[in-house]
Amino acid sequence: MKQIRTDLAMESSEAAGCIPGVSIASWEESGVLITEVVIETEESAKNLSKPMGRYITLECEGVRTRDPMAYDALSSILAEEIARLLPPDENRTPALIVGLGNRMVTPDALGPKTIDHVLVTRHLINELPDETDERLSSVCCICPGVLGVTGIETMESVKSIVSAVKPRVIICIDALAARASKRVGVSIQLSDVGIQPGSGVGNHRRAITKEELGVPVIAIGMPTVVYASTIARDALYLMSEGEAEEEMLDKITKTLFENEIGEMIVTPREIDDMIEDAAGLIARAINISLQDRLSQSELDGLLKR
Amino acid sequence: MKQIRTDLAMESSEAAGCIPGVSIASWEESGVLITEVVIETEESAKNLSKPMGRYITLECEGVRTRDPMAYDALSSILAEEIARLLPPDENRTPALIVGLGNRMVTPDALGPKTIDHVLVTRHLINELPDETDERLSSVCCICPGVLGVTGIETMESVKSIVSAVKPRVIICIDALAARASKRVGVSIQLSDVGIQPGSGVGNHRRAITKEELGVPVIAIGMPTVVYASTIARDALYLMSEGEAEEEMLDKITKTLFENEIGEMIVTPREIDDMIEDAAGLIARAINISLQDRLSQSELDGLLKR
Amino acid sequence: MKQIRTDLAMESSEAAGCIPGVSIASWEESGVLITEVVIETEESAKNLSKPMGRYITLECEGVRTRDPMAYDALSSILAEEIARLLPPDENRTPALIVGLGNRMVTPDALGPKTIDHVLVTRHLINELPDETDERLSSVCCICPGVLGVTGIETMESVKSIVSAVKPRVIICIDALAARASKRVGVSIQLSDVGIQPGSGVGNHRRAITKEELGVPVIAIGMPTVVYASTIARDALYLMSEGEAEEEMLDKITKTLFENEIGEMIVTPREIDDMIEDAAGLIARAINISLQDRLSQSELDGLLKR
Amino acid sequence: MKQIRTDLAMESSEAAGCIPGVSIASWEESGVLITEVVIETEESAKNLSKPMGRYITLECEGVRTRDPMAYDALSSILAEEIARLLPPDENRTPALIVGLGNRMVTPDALGPKTIDHVLVTRHLINELPDETDERLSSVCCICPGVLGVTGIETMESVKSIVSAVKPRVIICIDALAARASKRVGVSIQLSDVGIQPGSGVGNHRRAITKEELGVPVIAIGMPTVVYASTIARDALYLMSEGEAEEEMLDKITKTLFENEIGEMIVTPREIDDMIEDAAGLIARAINISLQDRLSQSELDGLLKR
């Protein structure tokens, strides 16, 4: 099944089954199912087509029915998990939040829409360092746009801003592709490995990683789509009870999708609401984890919505 | 294959093969492939799950690559076909254009977005009948919204407006579901049968037809989605070489799509642009067909964009 | 100062000074200043160019600074005042909420954007009357659009929907013009007199009132603009210490505003956020007043945001 | 009248009257009025509060009535004037187009919305230099956002991208404030002096100029607002026939605008359409001037809208 595309390490490891060099753990907390995949060796990384590192997936049933309680539980646990990956906040060195993707393409707009809800403070702290509440952590944001719209590689933009802002950490938010449609709009993946080439709905072409940028890169993503060819291949695979040959799968998939207007995706009909909800949830978790010296009501007051 | 859903009569008749009571013709004009399906008997209507009437599908390769020439050809031919269905324009009785669907749900926004580009004149003619250019045809518009948002059946809203406005014809625009992903954003269906219950991306619950409203109803639609289950079923069917049993198809489809966040659709990643383009194209055809006594540059001048 | 335009009865009566047939009272509640103007006679109605009836204006300082507490206080008191005007909820006869104005023209979008946040229940109650929580009140909504876009008078659309839905009460939401810029985005006017011709940012041409529709009409509005000519006239009037002659005011105002691209308005630079905030606030008050048998958390659960 | 704010050099020089060191010329071309102000000395620059350099203002009556011919004339002449300021296109060094302002604040969204329509080619040329039409000029774009949203000075973002992209020229697009409301949405200013601190609807805090960036900076702006205080002051000044004292003007202006929700602006009610039209017009002029080896229909084909 090597041609099935997913940005979730959890799904890659599920498909691969039990392999050496990959440790998997899962547990529940306040109704949220947490799965941690650690890819420990170069070989297992190669097997799963995902770099070595730690991947945490959060899932919560209530999100399917848009239960407000589920959103609260999920964002609180996401905040805790982000906090675990943050380097210490010293000398008010800023965190840089990067909203990847294209605001004008709904399935790819998760990153820019999350940025709309992040509490930004760097300019206040820089201007009036003595008058700004010292408990505020310094935060700034960019939406670099996508290559087809700007003519500039995302990595080029991020690298140049990083050299100007010199952040202590980068948090990238991106719309992902899943293998299973049931994870669309429901699962959140958090990892310490940054963004890989070819990942995301917008298909990044160069890595956005600590190796490239010299700063830890936390990646937060939510699947917003499944590629249509994945659905077809999975249907075929299930039918053949695992006996299908790659070649035949390719041929049938090609027949189904020839002559389309663009790359076909599978997504919920209510994709606009799904993206808005997810953007609010992820931004809330980022705000809580970065501004951990403020109470929730102080935070709400500063956000003013 | 009876559970495959499509709003295109052309696809229903393709799937059914040659059956009595259905006549099919197709020809090309300026690079546009025109297919006419006429469902002539009650029995064939039942077989195809589409009411008796005339369905015209226009398709144009160039739309796939967003070729401006293709849009012009397609909208001109659509205008001619609409004109053929229009009752005579007497006593400045208005045409009522109805934008079906939900503006806030991108795959379902085709109708409301088309309305944004329609030339509206009824109020000018009603106020200053003697001072308005007598070549102008009277046109008015509504976007009734969808049941889940308004709490009012689309048909109730349309019926009540029809009783107030007393139009000579109703033209409904709606986002459709296709069977084949290659038709999404590319094919346009025009018919004289109105809107059927269960059709459209928003799933209308009551018929919007001449029988119900006492006025001819022209329906214009473009597929914006394929249901994800259709893709899976088609994959399976192809693989089984036509031998698959309904029951097994159902079971596998269910396995693939259980626990999703909402009804899953297949659509191009660039759905936002696709809807904008299609709305402009359809509105242009409606404007040309209704304002047939104006030159193109007079029409452009009135539209002011 | 007769040419100064305002949709707020409070400002009309302020400008007119103490006149017979108008009673004014004001008091504070939870930090909200409430002013009630009752126009009691036909003569005073003529003097103020506002129909006889009760007008309540709510103002809250904290809204200027986007204080979340101020929004809560304001929406709670607005809910109480709406509740006072509601006819009894018998036999699950629906309330019809009407979002006046044009969604595509930011200063005029308050009505349609409020509708986005109203809890709609009529379709659920109609379909499954026995299975729907009997404490739910029946609510439906429309956005009739504006004459220039639909070619249909707002009043025509509302009247036709009213005859279909037969509501027990109509609540209209509209963007207003104020005289004083300090009231823009801050004051909310509630009245039992419906909507008057010439009022609102979109300038309604026919009355939407109980007399016309046979159902009580509650109007809720917030000033989103001041007409630019009002600002100029007020500047001149202040400077002349009340001595300025109408003719001179007209002449100078004309000099300032000749050759503009359209009607000039005064509004905050952050008009988009202001409209969003106000729409949320008004919708919240409407939901609380109509669904008064639900707790706040039950209401939030149904709204799912 | 020193406190009247305008970003148009033409208005500054009008207000100042004839002063040494400023040359003004104006002429008509295809119905477009062109005014050139050259500020030639440091002293006159100080007098006008505008840096030394060349400022060209284009005005066209037909834009007021949204005449499509007027848009064509205006964009063609703007393209010619931009072309005059462009450095030679050697070695396919890119032009960098910068959309200043905040997409989410309608009066400040001109820059980002213009970017939406600019033909971007740098990525195509960089990837496949030999396969890309050699007549294509290299173009890339950014929308740096505004300080309050990103926490990063616009100048910091632009400088860092410039160091990565090394463009031959920077073209900045920005929403401006005018003094006279008749210029809002109608006049376009082009200059070779870049962007000054305090200018624009979004109030840039640091200069974006050749001196700072080492690359020529062309600024294109259209007034989208007049500050409300400007209108009031102008009204007072006109009334006093030039005799008003600064102090009194200040006092009355303060009385009019105290306690507002934010900075008040004067703008047309149809601000959304005005911004869309202007963005399309400016982008068209930029595309024509940069891609001067393509025919109009080749350009349209590449833009695909």
Per-residue confidence band for D24, with pLDDT thresholds at 50, 70 and 90:
very high
Residue tagged 């489809």 (tokens):
B253
pLDDT score of D235: 79
Name the B residues in 31-70 with CB < 8 Å from any A CB: 63-64
Q: Which residues of B touch A264 (CB under 8 A)?
A: 181, 184, 226, 266-269
Per-residue pLDDT tens for D186-231? Answer: 999 999 999 998 899 988 999 999 999 999 999 999 999 999 888 8
D301 vs B: CB within 8 A? yes
Closest chain D residue to A162, measured at CA: D160
Q: What is the pLDDT of residue D238?
A: 76
| Nearest Cα residue to D119 out of D93, D91, D140 | D140
Mean pLDDT of chain D: 92
**Phi and psi (nearest 5°) for C151?**
75, 5
Q: Which residues of C touch D233 (CB under 8 A)?
A: 235
**CA count, 13 A, side-chain hemisphere, B184:** 36
Collapsing DSSP to helix, strand or coil, A196 comes out as coil
Q: Which residue of D lies nearest to B273 if distances are taken between CA atoms?
A: D305
B185, B253, B260 member nearest A182 (Cβ): B260
Question: Which of A6-20, A219-233, B255-269, C148-162 reaches the highest mean pLDDT?
Answer: C148-162
* Residue C116 forms contact with A (CB below 8 Å): no
How long, in residues, is chain D?
305
- Chain C residues closer than 8 Å to B138 by CB: 151
The pLDDT of residue C234? 81
Cβ–Cβ below 8 Å for A235 and B233: yes
Distance CA C43, CA C40 (A): 9
Q: Which residues of A touch D123 (CB under 8 A)?
A: 147-148, 151-153
Q: What pLDDT is stored for residue D282 in this prediction?
A: 98
Provide the pLDDT for residue B304. Answer: 64
Question: What is the number of other CB atoms lying within 10 angstroms of the CB of residue B299?
Answer: 16
Summarised one tens digit per residue, pLDDT across range C57-101 is 999 988 888 888 899 999 999 999 999 999 999 889 999 999 999
Instruction: Say yes or no for a CB contact (<8 Å) between B67 and D277.
Output: no
Query: Which residues in chain D are closer than 8 Å to A94, comparing Cβ atoms?
Result: 151
CB of B153 less than 8 A from some CB of C: yes
pLDDT at A293: 95
The CB density around residue D290, as the number of other CB atoms within 10 Å, is: 27
Chain D partners (3+ C-beta pairs within 8 A): A, B, C
Residue in C221, C230, C233, C229 with CA at minimum distance from that of residue C279: C221
CA distance A1 to chain B (A): 16
Nearest C-alpha neighbor of D212 from the set D204, D220, D200: D204
Q: How confident is the model at residue D304 (pLDDT cuts 50, 70, 90)?
A: low
Name the nearest CA neighbour of C103 among C149, C64, C156: C149
Q: Touching check for B149 and chain A: CB below 8 Å?
A: no
Query: pLDDT tens digits, residue range B152-205?
Result: 999 999 999 999 999 999 999 999 999 999 999 999 999 999 999 889 998 899
Q: pTM for this one?
A: 0.94
Tell me the shortest Cα–Cα distance from D39 to chain B, in angstroms. 37
What pLDDT is stored for residue D305 in this prediction? 52
Q: Nearest residue on chain A to D162, judged by CA atoms?
A: A160
* pLDDT of amino acid A9: 94
The nearest alpha carbon in chain C to D230 belongs to: C232
CB atoms within 10 A of CB A248: 14
* C68 contacts A300? CB cut-off 8 A: yes
Band of residue A276 on the pLDDT scale cut at 50, 70, 90: very high
User: From start to end of chain A, where are the E strands?
Assistant: 22-29, 32-39, 53-59, 95-99, 139-142, 169-178, 188-191, 217-227, 264-268
The answer to whether D104 touches A103, Cβ cutoff 8 Å, is: no
pLDDT tens per residue across span D78-136: 999 999 999 999 889 999 999 999 999 999 999 999 999 999 999 999 999 999 999 99
- DSSP 8-state symbol, C87: P
**Is the pLDDT at C1 greater than 50, yes or no?**
no
pLDDT given at position D249: 79
Q: Give the residue ranges of chain B where pLDDT is below 50.
A: 1-2
A142 and D153: CB-CB below 8 Å? Answer: no
Q: What angle do CA C50, C248, C256 make, to 5 degrees?
A: 90
Beta bridge mates, D140: D96
- The Cα–Cα gap between D247 and C167 comes to 57
pLDDT score recorded for residue C298: 92
Token pair listed for D94: 């890119």
Contacts of C107 (CB under 8 A, 6+ apart): C175, C201, C224, C225, C265, C267, C271, C275, D269, D271
- pLDDT for A1 beyond 50: no
Question: Distance (Å) from the C-alpha of residue D302 to the closest C-alpha of chain B?
Answer: 9
Indicate whether A34 pLDDT > 60. yes
* Interchain CB contact of A277 with B (< 8 Å): no
Q: How far apart are the first and last CA of chain D?
A: 46
Pairwise CB contact (< 8 Å): B157 & C139: no
In angstroms, rounded to a whole number, what is the distance separating the alpha carbons of residues A68 and D225? 41
Could you give the CA distance from residue D202 to residue D145 in angstroms, rounded to a whole number? 10
Interface contact flag, C68 A277, Cβ < 8 Å: no
Q: Which of B68, B300, B304 sits opposite D300 (nearest CB)?
A: B68
Q: How many CA atoms lie within 13 A of C58 on its CB side?
A: 29
Instruction: Give residue B3's pLDDT.
Output: 58
Judge contact between B286 and B83, C-beta under 8 A. no
**Looking at the domain covering B91-303, what would its CATH class be?**
alpha beta
Could you say which of B122, B145, B151 has the minimum Cβ distance to residue C152?
B122
Quote the tokens at residue C279.
């729409």
Q: Following DSSP, what letter does each residue of C235-270 receive, concatenated?
A: HHHHHTTT---HHHHHHHHHHHHTT-SS-EEEEETT
Strand partners, A32: A29
Closest chain C residue to the Cα of A277, Cα to Cα: C305
pLDDT at A115: 97
The reported pLDDT for the residue numbered C75 is: 95
Closest CA to D90 of D126, D137, D139, D132: D137
Decide if A257 contacts A228 (C-beta within 8 A): yes
pLDDT of residue D1: 42
User: Looking up tokens 């498909």, which residue turns up?
Assistant: A15
Domain definitions of chain C by residue range: 91-303
Distance CA C115, CA C279 (A): 8
A157 interaction partners in chain D (CB closer than 8 Å): 142, 161, 164
Task: Establish how many alpha carbons lie within 13 A of residue C36's alpha carbon, considering only the half-sphere containing its beta carbon.
Answer: 12
pLDDT at A160 over 80: yes
Select the residue of C103, C142, C152 nearest B150 (Cβ to Cβ): C142
Residue among D138, D149, D160 minimizing CB distance to A161: D160
Q: B72 to chain D, minimum CA–CA distance in Å?
A: 11
Q: With an 8 Å Cβ cutoff, is C194 touching chain B?
A: no
Q: Do A68 and C277 touch (CB under 8 A)?
A: no
